Structure formats: structure tokens, C-alpha cells
Amino acid sequence: MNSTLNGEDCELTIMPHALDDVVSCSETVYVTGEHIPATNNPSARGALGTMPAVHEALVRLILVLPIFATFKEPVISFLRQRESGGGGGMGRPLGAGNGSAPFFIFGDSLLDAGNNDYLNVSFKANRWPYGETFFHNATGRFCNGRIPPDFIAENANLPFIKPYLEPNFSDYTDGANFASGGAGVLPQTLEGALYLELQVSLFAEMTERLKQQKGDSDAQKLISRGVYHIGMGGNDYIHLATDSLDDNATISPHDKEAFVHWVMGNLTTSINRLYRLGGRKFSFQNVAPIGCLPGSRYRTGTGGCLNDLNILAEMHNEALSELLAGLEKDLSGFNYVLFDYYKTLLDRIVNCTEFGFEVGETACCGSGTYNGEWTCGVTGDHFTLCRKPKEYVFFDPAHPTEEVSRQLSELMWSGEPPVMRPGNLKSLFEEP
């Protein structure tokens, strides 16, 4: 490995066969492990695949949903026929339950604890320097350390919740993580990732396993006590807006409204299914200011935020608030809390020093303007790595650092309106 220090950043060029190289870029010593070749390197579009023009995309949504519904079960069977091996999402050992409510997580790379490591998808965080700050090796988390589910689990007196696809994982007493990096609410957002309805189908599979292990009555009690955290949607809008940008097209207000409507329709279907399966206590985080991510700023060429992306996020967030209020009225026993992820993250981007950070717009790891190119840790690519991730809001072009995750998780746990409403996760976990 060749490395040079350049001011506050550590300039790195990863060589294809470098093993056990050590680079001291900060107070933390980073060590590379076994070389894993990178395939289909994600571009600055955030590891999102290609998509047709706006109008064609909307038409395809109607056509693709029945197809995915038809093949859903074979896909699940394929996922479960995986080889045994070491897990990628472990923190502390999973305990046998301590009286706390189990924790079930559904989402994208902001919440993925390692499921993508076991999928045939190129968008993975299975390489150095991901995970180095806390785990000292890559665990599949798209962060330098812990992510929100880890901090929430700690607050709830739970062990770190394992990714459901981790080989040999079968004790679901404390919960399971179904989140998948790059996934969306819609099936075609990233081919090979676990879109939301497929995550719910895997949860349904898990409930059957629980019934076999514990009996119907005890399994149902555990499921009804569980807290169900859902954070998803950003990738769907990133697909739409970045493909429009590539085509030098604009997204009309009507198309924005129609697309948000389709996303919310699919989200509603998945929430209702979780409710029918026994879920009653739900936690949601709305969509981030995705137009102001380092990867989005890189795309603009001017350093500003992508306005269309932020508009879509704001439309989604408003629709989500209305949806949850409606579900609370329509579904008996449905209880929810909603975290304003958009505002809390944007506050830290714009006013980073007020929250203890030095850099709000540029990622710690990456290349290009704002480190917005997806080269962090990719073998054979040149990228920069900051000395102190704790001083940065973003670790890579789209994902917050561990310190941001810690701060936002504390707000989720004990925050008050308007950031967390109508209650918070602490109150949700304490409910019988």
C-alpha cells in the first residue's frame, strides 16, 4: 500500500495485492485485512443502477410489481440457501433475552448491519476502512463504526441486533435486522438488494421459525412486544432524480407527486402486512436531505444541493406524517413514533460546529469534489481518508459518521417534539 500524508487528509492508493499493510492516518491505526476484489464499482450515483427516463420509469412501476410478487417466494428460498460461515454484523454476542422488547429493523444502508454481505449485489461495506473506528474491521455497516440500530439496542439493554441473513443466526429473541444497503421501498431501486416488501417477507419467514422454536403462543407474544423500526425511501428518489439529471431532464410537479404516491402506496402495504403479522409498536425515520449529501453535491458540479432531491424528500416526509396519522386511526392498537431525520441531519450539515463537528459538507472518505465519488476503500482506486472521522458529519458520500449516528440515536431514544413525535423510542420500548 502506498500512502502519503497531505495536511488533514491521508491520501491513499490501494494496490491490488496489498495484505496486512498498516497506515497510521490518525490516532486510530487502520489495518487492511484479506484482499476482497471489488466488482461493478458503484459510481457517484450512490451505487444506484440505471433507470429509464421519468415517464417510462413511472409506467414500469405498474408493470414490475406483479412480476416481483410472483417470484417473491423463490427469491426468499434462494436467499436462505446460503453457505455457512462467519458473520458480518456482530457486536456483542446475542443474548437470550433480558425482558426488553425485541427490536426489528427494516431499511436501507443507513440501517444495514451486514445483510448485503450475503447478497449478490455490488453495493457492500465489506472492506477497510469501514468499521475501523469501533469494530476494527468491516462488518457490513456503511459507517466508520456503529449505526443507529446499535445505539438504540444499547439504550434498550439489548445486544447489537444481527443481520437476518447472517449464517447460523437462528435466535431471534432479541430481534433481527432486515435492512439492505441500496434498497428502496420499490422493488427495482437496486437489483439484488432486499426491497421493503421482500424484507417483510423474510420477517414473515422468521415468525414461522419462531413458532417452531417457541410455540405459537410464546412466539406471538414476542412479536407483539417487538419494536419495528423502518427507515426507507431515499434511494427511490435518488434513482428518479439522478437519472433525470443524466438525461438533462426536469421532473415535473405532477411526476414528483405521482412517484411519491407510488412509494407511499408500497410503504402502506408493507406496514399493513407487518401489522397483520402482529406488529403494534412502530418507529419511523423520515427521508434525509438527500440533495445535500456529498455524493449529490458532487453531481451538481457547483457544490450546491440538488434541489429536486430535497423537494422529493420533503414531499415524502409530509406524506409519511399524514399516512401514519391515518393508520393510527384505522388500525386498532397501532402505536408509532416518527423521527425528523431530515431536519436533524440538515442542521448538522449547515451548522456543523454547533454540534461538535469541523466539516459538514465533505465526506471523510472518498474522492473528487466533496469526496463525493464512491471510491472509499475500493481496491485499485485513489481516495482520501480523513484523520479524525469524529470531526466529520459524513463518512462516505452518503452515510453519516458514527458520531452523527450516536447523536441522532440519542434524539430517537429520548427526544421530544417536534424532532421526535408524538413520543420517543424509550417510551415505545417501555410499553408492555
Residue 136 CB neighbour total at 10 angstroms: 15
Residue labelled with grid coordinates 401514519: 324
Phi, psi of 386 (to 5 degrees): -70, 160
Residue-by-residue DSSP string for 101-123? PPEEEEESTTT-SSGGGGSS-S-
Cα–Cα distance list, 3 to 36, 131, 232, 307, 375 (Å): 19, 20, 37, 37, 15
Residues in contact with 248: Cβ distance below 8 Å, sequence separation at least 6, in sequence order: none
Residues in the chain: 432
Please, are residues 148 and 412 in contact by the beta-carbon 8 Å criterion?
A: yes
Catalytic residues, which ones? 109, 396, 399
Ramachandran bin of 154, using left for φ above 0, alpha for ψ from -120 to 50, beta for the remaining angles = alpha
Residues in contact with 13: Cβ distance below 8 Å, sequence separation at least 6, in sequence order: 1, 2, 3, 381, 382
The reply to whether omega before 432 is within 30° of 0 (cis) is: no
How far apart, in whole angstroms, are the C-alpha atoms of residue 426 and residue 420? Answer: 11
Please, are residues 39 and 122 in contact by the beta-carbon 8 Å criterion?
A: yes
First to last CA, the chain: 54
Residue 58 CB neighbour total at 10 angstroms: 17
How far apart, in whole angstroms, are the C-alpha atoms of residue 258 and residue 63? Answer: 15
How far apart, in whole angstroms, are the C-alpha atoms of residue 372 and residue 375? Answer: 9
Residue 276 CB neighbour total at 10 angstroms: 10
Please, are residues 104 and 228 in contact by the beta-carbon 8 Å criterion?
A: yes
- Based on its alpha-carbon atoms, the radius of gyration of the chain, rounded to whole angstroms, reads 20
Phi, psi of 394 (to 5 degrees): -110, 140
How far apart, in whole angstroms, are the C-alpha atoms of residue 49 and residue 239? Answer: 8
